[in-house]
């Protein structure tokens, strides 16, 4: 059985929970990475480096890094649309299996997260179509999506981060999803519009709502600090 089969067998069955009670990502970081690839462990490798190593050398460890970095956000996106855990996991696993099978082209993908999310949307759409349903952005499930800004980046104390997070959590579902795609996944407005099959104007409107609320919260925090 090849690497990709073993890899997803481990992910799906949770076999690594038996390995010292840690997740696969932790197991890989503590075992494979420091020994075989110390540059991964010390944070010297970038995503572009990993993409190139996978494309050029079928580097399994680099692919594991990409999986661990992207799989959970992609799963959250799929789950927000179809609201069913097992099918969402299967869609994400299928995406990464295909990515490995077509790894020679990986270095040519400019924005990997955007590429994976487009694949995820197609998978979610196909799944819903099989149930004679369709994507409804007003009904997306976003309770599991957490956006946690860095206290250091905002130059505020940690106790105020909870206020910001709760404010974002209270956004309407579509607004919160769009805000997350822009601010956390790094998509441009045009990319979000194409991904969700909406107009750029709609993205702009939803971001205005989110940023206005965030601005109000930050103004309140500033008043408390003065």
Pair 111, 208 in one domain: no
Pair 105, 210 in one domain: no
Q: What is the pLDDT of residues 18-30, one digit of tens each?
A: 333 333 343 344 3
Pair 7, 107 in one domain: yes
Domain ranges, residue 199 = 138-225
CATH at residue 212: 1.10.10.10
Q: What is the pLDDT of residues 139-180, one digit of tens each?
A: 787 766 655 555 444 445 566 677 777 888 889 999 999 999
Pair 197, 120 in one domain: no
Q: How confident is the model at residue 7 (pLDDT cuts 50, 70, 90)?
A: low
Number of domains in the chain: 2
What are the C-alpha distances in Å from 85 to residues 26, 90, 91, 153, 225?
22, 9, 10, 33, 42
Residue that is last in its domain, among 135, 159, 179: 135
CATH at residue 32: 1.10.1740.10
């Amino acid at each position: 059985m090849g690497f990709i089969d073993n890899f997803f067998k481990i992910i799906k069955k949770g076999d690594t929970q038996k390995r010292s009670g840690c997740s696969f990502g932790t197991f890989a970081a503590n075992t494979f990475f420091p020994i075989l690839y110390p540059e991964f462990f010390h944070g010297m490798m970038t995503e572009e480096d990993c993409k190139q190593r996978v494309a050029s050398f079928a580097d399994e460890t680099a692919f594991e890094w990409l999986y661990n970095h992207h799989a959970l956000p992609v799963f959250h996106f799929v789950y927000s649309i179809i609201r069913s855990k097992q099918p969402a996991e299967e869609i994400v696993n299928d995406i990464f299996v295909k990515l490995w099978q077509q790894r020679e082209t990986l270095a040519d993908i400019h924005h990997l997260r955007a590429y994976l999310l487009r694949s995820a949307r197609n998978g979610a759409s196909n799944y819903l179509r099989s149930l004679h349903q369709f994507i409804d952005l007003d009904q997306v499930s976003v309770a599991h999506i957490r956006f946690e800004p860095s206290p250091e980046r905002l130059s505020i104390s940690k106790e105020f981060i909870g206020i910001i997070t709760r404010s974002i959590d209270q956004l309407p579902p579509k607004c919160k999803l769009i805000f997350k795609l822009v601010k956390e996944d790094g998509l441009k407005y045009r990319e979000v519009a194409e991904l969700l099959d909406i107009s750029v104007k709609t993205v702009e409107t939803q971001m205005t709502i989110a940023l206005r609320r965030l601005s109000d919260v930050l103004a309140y925090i500033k008043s408390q600090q003065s």
